[in-house]
Amino acid sequence: MRKNNVVWHPPLVTREMRNILNGHRSLAIWFTGLPSSGKSTIAHGVEKELYERGIRTYTFDGDNIRHGLCSDLGFSEKDREENLRRIAEVIKLFIDAGIVVLAAFVSPLKRHRKIVRSIIGENDFIEVYCRCPVEVCEKRDPKGLYKKARTGEIKNYTGISSPYEEPENPDLILDTHLLDIDEAVKRVLNLVEKKLIL
């Protein structure tokens, strides 16, 4: 289908109307950091707390997305960029649907995170950096992927054979090697609560 033959159909129900119905703003909380830095664990913990407060939520996890929507993509830089572009577009739809989205993705390069932020929109994007030394992440290694990366079984593994560029101005930094899960979740909630108010 040619792009110039596609016409946007204006909705009768808007994001603003859905937000009013839900009683809270919709937005995206983007968790970035090395593999095994705690992104998914914290994101799911935050989601549970928000859910229990009556907030409509959904968590996107990097591994889960690669089972379906992005199952055709590998881990080259080009494929990583496309993976993040796709998920950013889906998140944008969820925000329009009135949902608070939590997204846990390594998203190692600054320019990739910039693309994500530009798609989702500055006003709807909260960046949380789960900072953790690679040595600690490697000791955790719940999936055994660092070990495979060290032996060369996995190529382009972030933190070992592929770079991770730290965010320059994240909204929140969580030093996950120093914080327990409950404290990390609490800090995210403290940041987000005011932003959910209509």
Active-site choice (26, 37, 40, 107): 107
Nearest-angstrom CA–CA distance, 183 and 164: 25
Count of other CB atoms within 10 angstroms of residue 1? 5
Give the pairing of strands 100-104 and 57-61.
parallel
Quote the CA–CA distance of 6 and 26 in Å, as a whole number: 27
Tokens of 166: 């730290």
Among 3, 34, 25, 190, smallest CA distance to 124 is for 25
- Asked if 107 is an active-site residue, the reply is yes
Residue type, 177: H
d(CA 113, CA 105): 10
Positive or negative: CA dihedral 153, 176, 165, 111: positive
Q: How far apart are CA 198 and CA 189, in angstroms?
A: 16
Active site residues: 107
